[in-house]
Structure 1
Amino acid sequence: MNGPKDKSRIEPRKEPKQKRSITRFHSILGSAESLIVEHGVVQMKMTDIAAHAGVPVGSVYQFFPEKAAILKALLDQRLVRLKQDIANGLTGIVDRDDARERVMTFIDHAADVHRTNAIYRELWAGMSLDPELRRVQFRAHEELGILALRFLEPFINHHESGCRESRFLLITMLTGSVLRCVAEGHDKAESLLAEWKLTMCEMLFPEESLKAA
Structure 2
Amino acid sequence: MKDDLYELLLEGLGQTLYMVFWSSIFAILLGLALGISVVVTERGGILPAPAVHKVIGTFINTVRSLPFIILIVLLLPLSRLIVGTSLGPTAAIVSLSIAAAPFLARIIENSLKEVDTGKIEAAKAIGASPFTIIFRVLIPEALPALIRGLTIAVIAITEFTAVAGAIGAGGLGSLAIRFGYQRFREDILFATVLIIILLVQSIQWTGDYTAKRIERKRFKMD
**TM > 0.5:** no
TM-score scaled by length of structure 1: 0.33
TM-score, with length taken from structure 2? 0.32
Q: Which has the higher contact order (CA 8 A, sep 6+)?
A: 2
Bigger share in helix: 2
